[in-house]
Structure 1
Amino acid sequence: MPGTTQDDGPPGLLRTGGRALADLVLPRVCAGCAGPGAVLCPACRSRLTRPRLAEPRRHPPGFPPTVAAGAYAGPVRPAVVAFKEHGVAELAAPLGAALALAVAAVLGGLPPSPGPVLLVPMPSAPAAVRRRGRDHVQELAAHAVAELRAGGLPAGSVPLLGRTGRTRDSAGLDAAARRANLTGRFRRLPARLPPGCRLVLVDDVATSGATLTEAARALTAGAGSPDAGEPVVAAVVAATVRRGPRSAPARAPATFTVRR
């Protein structure tokens, strides 16, 4: 698939082989709580079965309705980091299943569509792909698609977004700086989409909301496409928990109103 980066060179093969060898030699512990047993124990998995609306602390204008499978806190955070930054490939299955749950939940807030559901992975920066040896969001999307199909939902994945220029590392940036760093950094790629399809942006985590907001803006810029005029929604494995008082009454998990 265009845009997919795989461990297809010697460095990637060495990384993959090294991880497999480590799994054989070292005792397996949960990536979330560090308890012995599965790569993600049942208790930590259960934290990713609680769909909720992602609510950034400073809600950026244009932030798409986004559902997270769980909170980016407690043992969920080290599990996501282990998959994303430390190459714990076995976590792709449980985290992908969590992403599929979030996709199903966000679709529940939309009217039925006759076409398939197409997941649009957030494109990783080229430098990050080279450092990690893979595109972790595409891996999550592939597992989520498999889960959705197993549940009887027609689904696929399409690399519909590309990056333009360079961005700074977002670590340490506040919400305003993240938005400025990402402005104009995504573009919609040409693709033939089936009529009536539903596009869902997918990513591993939502924090400030800046990335998904800018991606949604780029996605809706393709006037005349089969999905033109359709609401943009998103799904993530986990989202940061909003702190402090709310300005409006809390809604039930995974419910929202789409205004056309």
Structure 2
Amino acid sequence: MRPAGTTQDGAPPWAGVLQAGGRALADLVLPRVCAGCALPGSVLCAPCGSRLARPRLAEPRRHPPGFPPTVAAGAYAGPVRPAVVAFKEHGRAELAAPLGTALALAVATVLTGLPPSSGSSDGGSSDAGSSDAGPVVLVPMPSDPAAVRRRGRDHVQELADRAVAELAAAGLTATTVPLLGRAGRTRDSAGLDAAARRANLTGRFRRLPVLLPPGCRLVLVDDVATSGATLTEAARALTAGAPVGGEPVLAAVVAATPRRVRRPDPPRSAAVLTLRR
């Protein structure tokens, strides 16, 4: 039996708040260093930040059926990897600014810069950036509740919120809608191969009964794409719960495991998205 006043993982409900407060205090006391290369002076230095301004189509090595057209702002390698991990696992919440801007770049690119082979219905670049296109809805990947309690924050929602602000500054209106929920528990996917990841995630997401504006464009957003299993299952849940002829699903991530990648043409709106340091 769980002791009274504790969460499911045994921690008091205010533990996450105290952890977040401690991290904020550390940010004030400790000198700021680049999360990518550890050089002092900035949250993410210019050379490391430039690696998140290289939008590319993410194509997993074993392309899972149903994997949505996905753009990553950069490769999940080199200094990008420790920067993402620092934001996600080590309390570097100030990285929401540069990583959220990178996510906004990926969103803008997947909407306006897909090459012909990416799945666009007209065989060419999407018209998603035109004035008569439908509203943009970012759908954050739902985080595991236990992980949210442990971290004291929902890091994917933070990235999505920052991306919406950056897109607005670039002249592209978007909103975030929690359209996905978790339908069950999953084990940690670390160390699993692609097939095991897919099996682990099958049926784990469900579309929530949220009313969307007509003609909207859904963009799944997450921090990292590796095997593509999570995005594939999330896209399946979105389309399975949608009405006939429902919204097409795209995806955008901060970074993707570098395997087979093709860089799409820069979108018209991406030119004003600059990484904040």
Instruction: Please report the TM-score for the alignment, with normalisation by the length of structure 2.
Output: 0.82
From 227, 234, 240, the counterpart of 1:215: 234
Deviations 1:206-226 (A, max 9, x none): 00000000000000012327x
What residue in structure 1 maps to residue 106 of structure 2? 102
What residue in structure 2 maps to residue 72 of structure 1? 76
Between 1:12-21 and 1:194-203, the stretch displaced more is 12-21
What residue in structure 2 maps to residue 239 of structure 1? 256
1:16, CA displacement in angstroms?
A: 2.4
Q: Is 1:82 the counterpart of 2:86 in the alignment? A: yes
CA contact (8 A) 1:73 1:240 kept: yes
Q: Is 1:186 the counterpart of 2:197 in the alignment? A: no
What residue in structure 2 maps to residue 119 of structure 1? 138
Aligned length: 239
The alignment partner of 2:59 has SS state of: coil
CA RMSD after TM alignment: 1.6
Q: Is 1:47 the counterpart of 2:56 in the alignment? A: no
CA contact (8 A) 1:199 1:232 kept: yes
From 32, 56, 60, the counterpart of 1:56: 60
From 230, 235, 239, the counterpart of 2:247: 230
1:251, CA displacement in angstroms?
A: 4.5
Between 1:95-104 and 1:21-30, the stretch displaced more is 21-30
Q: Percent identity?
A: 82
CA contact (8 A) 1:184 1:214 kept: yes
CA contact (8 A) 1:168 1:181 kept: yes
CA contact (8 A) 1:71 1:240 kept: yes
Mapped partners of 2:265, 2:111: distance in 1: 9
- Unaligned runs of 5+ residues in structure 2 are 1-12, 115-125, 267-277
Q: Is 1:15 the counterpart of 2:26 in the alignment? A: no
The alignment partner of 1:236 has SS state of: strand
Amino acid at match of 2:127: P
What residue in structure 2 maps to residue 149 of structure 1? 168
CA contact (8 A) 1:52 1:254 kept: no
1:252, CA displacement in angstroms?
A: 4.1
Q: Is 1:91 the counterpart of 2:95 in the alignment? A: yes
1:254, CA displacement in angstroms?
A: 5.7
Mapped partners of 2:263, 2:257: distance in 1: 17
From 170, 175, 182, the counterpart of 1:163: 182
What residue in structure 1 maps to residue 149 of structure 2? 130
CA contact (8 A) 1:186 1:218 kept: yes
- Unaligned runs of 5+ residues in structure 1 are 1-8, 244-249, 256-260
1:231, CA displacement in angstroms?
A: 2.4
1:129, CA displacement in angstroms?
A: 1.1
1:116, CA displacement in angstroms?
A: 1.4
Instruction: Please report the TM-score for the alignment, with normalisation by the length of structure 1.
Output: 0.88
What residue in structure 1 maps to residue 273 of structure 2? none
User: CA 1:120/1:254 → structure 2, altered by over 3 Å: closer, same or farther?
Assistant: farther
Amino acid at match of 1:253: P
What residue in structure 1 maps to residue 36 of structure 2? 32
